[in-house]
A and B are shown apart, each in its own frame.
Chain A
Amino acid sequence: MNTIFALAQVVIKELYRRKDFYVLFILTVLITLLMASASIFHDDKIVRYLKDICLLLIWISALVMAVGTAARQIPAERENRTIFPLLAKPVSRAQVIAGKFLGCWLASGMALVVFYLFLGLVCASREHEWHVFIYLQALWLQWVFLAVIIALVLFGSVIFAAPSSNATISIVVVISIWFLGSHLNTVALQQAEPMRSIIYTIYFLIPHLEWYDIRDLVVHNRPLVSGTICGLATLYGAAYTGVFLFATWLCFRRKPLN
């Protein structure tokens, strides 16, 4: 466990010593503030469009950061040959994977907290009330979302040689699942038989990432998702994360390194 945390710490250190996070955060802040400064019919209580834009930016930034970081981890270890001194220590490859995952996940969690604090500030300045619980829920679900994504990307990174192609493929896969995944059943029902079963099978196999995106509820002040539902969604996400991490380990376990 110590080893895993030590590895995670290195990932986090790397992330905050790089410029990515700062660039994305400052961009988000700038764009949101710019939108906020526009006077729309002299009404300064309009807030939902701001929430909407800010959340969109948060989602894009978090996705880019998580995918970029996770895709880079293992290939960079191999390319820079840092994996050799590391694995020469009593560290198993499973621990390397777990540590890399944990590092990416914790780092993105920390980034999310910063982003959501900013969102809270912007909204509170207009609404004069704090919808703390819905923000916390949105943050938590997005974090679970990122766990699945990071595990998926790590899996990709032991399959595809180049990190950039892995990142691109991962982003495409994630975005298509995110936006189309929930509609595959509708599509399947419109197809003839062989296709129908195939699409339905895919529908049941893919992780339903769209669940974790409750921006709609946050933007429109809809009620909270119930705790049970939230917990079940977390379990579902954890299961997929586990599956992807296990697959990563299977592929990486016996891979010759050079």
Chain B
Amino acid sequence: MNTILDIKDLRVEYRNRAIGQTTKLAVNGLNLSVQPGEVFGFLGPNGAGKTTTMNVLLGFVNATSGSASLFGVDVREPIARQRIGYLPELTYYYKFLTAEELLRFYAKVFGIPRAETEKRIDELIKLVELEPARKRPIKSYSKGMQQRVGLAQALINNPDLLILDEPTSGLDPIGRMKVREIIQRLKNDGKTVFFSSHELGEVETVCDRVAILHQGELKVEGRVDDLMQKYKANLEQIFLRIIGYQPVAVS
């Protein structure tokens, strides 16, 4: 099986502009690979380096050293992004466009034929339940609605690999459920999903494999079942133990 997502010895340093400040090491010696058809959970506390890793995968940030590839193509080539869908962590879109227009624009960027575009837009809007708001400018949307638009645009090109940065943030319980269903369905269709999340219960139910990152370093990686067996605990307890959390005794 050929790897879909491959990260080798990735190291990312942010150079701080302020004088006198040193560089900030965000990711340190990360090795990771994701196989086709997997749902991969990318976990870690705030500031662990999850978003930074994803930014490298999408070519927004240059690796200080090491390499990353998607479908065997170096991430610096735009063509590597032809078959992926991406949902950024804080979603903002062109506020003056409507959801429909936004999706049409992204479809055009992918070179999707017009007739297919319209069909796809209808499907996606139904999927994320934005029917009543599809002709309203995005600036009039609530946070959760914007997150839904983000999810729709990530799926516009029917991608083989989805990179989702906290897809459930800002969503109501029904929305979360929906996202879980979508991920499940994508998995059934043979797609690969690579996503970060803080919802460990959710991760436990949908993920095949997880990786836990802490301060830029990979701490644990493996199949969810194996990990639970090994540590004899659920994912949340494993997570807390790995990042060294000591519960404060309350008397």
Contact = CB atoms under 8 A, between A and B. Distances in A.
B173 interface: no
Contacts of A257: 55, 60-61
A10 B97 contact: yes
B106 interface: yes
A46 to B, nearest CB: 43
A162 interface: no
A81 interface: yes
A258 interface: yes
B92 A81 contact: yes
A85 B78 contact: no
B114 to A, nearest CB: 11
Interface string B81-115: 11010111011111111000100011011110000
Given A10-B105, A90-B79, A85 B150 contact: yes
A88 B81 contact: yes
Nearest to A84: B88
B59 interface: yes
A80 B91 CA distance: 9
Interface residues of B, number: 35
Contact of B60 (A7, A80, A256): A256
Interface stretch (A11-19, A151-159, A218-226, A238-246): A11-19
Contact of B58 (A3, A10, A84, A92): A84
Contacts of B97: 10, 13
B184 interface: no
A14 to B, nearest CB: 5
B82 to A, nearest CB: 5
Nearest to A11: B94
- Which bucket holds chain A's interface residue count? 20 to 34
A86 B106 CA distance: 8
A85 B165 CA distance: 12
Given A3-B108, A10-B94, A13-B101, A254 B62 contact: yes
B111 A2 contact: yes
Contact of B78 (A2, A13, A84, A92): A92
A81 B61 contact: no
A122 B68 CA distance: 62
Contact of A6 (B55, B61, B90, B109): B109
Contact of B110 (A10, A17, A81, A89): A89
B230 to A, nearest CB: 35
Given A91-B78, A92-B78, A258-B55, A85 B153 contact: yes
A88 B58 contact: yes
A90 B81 contact: yes
A140 to B, nearest CB: 29
Contacts of B60: 84, 87, 256-258
A254 B76 CA distance: 10
A82 interface: yes
A6 B106 CA distance: 8
Contact of A14 (B58, B92, B96): B96
A185 interface: no
A10 B78 CA distance: 21
A10 B101 CA distance: 9
A35 B2 CA distance: 74
A234 interface: no
A81 B90 contact: yes
Contacts of B105: 6, 9-10
Contact of B94 (A14, A90, A92): A14
Given A85-B153, A88-B58, A3 B92 contact: no
Contacts of A17: 96
Interface string B62-85: 100000000000000011111010
Contacts of A13: 96-97, 101
A47 B60 CA distance: 56
A90 to B, nearest CB: 5
B59 A87 contact: yes
Given A2-B108, A6-B109, A85 B61 contact: no
A88 B84 contact: yes
A256 B92 contact: no
A88 B106 CA distance: 10
A257 B81 CA distance: 17
B108 A6 contact: yes
Given A89-B106, A256-B62, 10 more contacts: A13-B101, A80-B95, A81-B91, A82-B93, A85-B106, A85-B154, A88-B86, A90-B78, A90-B80, A257-B60
Interface of A: 2-3, 5-7, 9-10, 13-14, 17-18, 80-82, 84-92, 254, 256-258
